[in-house]
Amino acid sequence: MSVPVVRVLPSSRPEPRTWRVGSPRPAAPVAAPEVAAPVPRPTPGQVLRVGRTWGARQPQELPDAARWSGWLALALTEALLGRRPATQLTGWVADDVVAGLNRRQRLHAADEAAARTVLLSGRVQHPAPLAVEATAVLRSGPRTVVLAFRLEGCGRGWLCTALEAGVTSGPRRRDRRSGLSSASSAAG
């Protein structure tokens, strides 16, 4: 059986130093760091076109993708929140996306109060001449909705072929009798 060896290590504190106070030295000029110009925040309702230098050009016969995606983002948000039937978007949205919107509407009840939906910001880029990838952030009452969707040129317009959405939950409703939130009153 071996006995552990314990060694005392030297102190790790630095040696105390004395500083002489005298006339201060002139400070060397410090160059200001180069900072890129801040990216301006878009004004509400404006959809920005990004990737102009590397993106593909949109064909002239198709409508403006930025305006189209702003309108479609509002309509998709209303369908996501149950304020618009998803079948109203049939001509502008692919069948599988409409089926997903219908499934969500069956699972989630519509909001009671129809607050106005506002487009906060949007981005559009063209990875190919007949393709648009768009993102949008919208506010509808207490909820924030984030959308990412793909538009593909077909005929004389755009068709939404893919949709990803995120919706924040609104504030919890309070039980007027007890002052508890609906989740805690149902549990107890």
Indicate whether 4 belongs to any domain.
no
Q: How far is CA 187 from CA 107, 146, 181, in A?
A: 22, 31, 10
Indicate whether 63 belongs to any domain.
yes
Say which amino acid occupies 157. G
| Tens digits of pLDDT across the chain (188 residues) | 677 777 766 666 656 555 555 555 555 555 555 655 665 665 666 676 665 555 667 777 888 888 889 999 999 999 998 888 999 999 899 999 999 999 988 887 766 666 788 999 999 998 888 899 999 999 988 889 999 999 999 888 899 999 999 988 766 555 444 444 444 434 44
How many CA within 13 A on the CB side of residue 90?
3
Q: What is the pLDDT of residue 74?
A: 93
- What b-and-e string marks burial along 159-168, b requiring 16 or more CB atoms within 10 Å of the CB? ebbebebebe
CATH of the domain at 147: 3.10.450
Q: What is the pLDDT of residue 175?
A: 46
124, containing H or E segment: strand 117-128
Cα 181 from Cα 110, distance rounded (Å): 20
Q: Which domain covers residue 86, as residue numbers?
A: 47-167
Q: How many domains does the chain have?
A: 1
The neighbour count for residue 132, using CB atoms within 10 Å, is 26
Predicted TM-score (pTM) of the model is 0.64
Q: How far is CA 147 from CA 20, 23, 107, 132, 167, in A?
A: 63, 62, 19, 14, 9
Say which amino acid occupies 101. L
Indicate whether 74 belongs to any domain.
yes
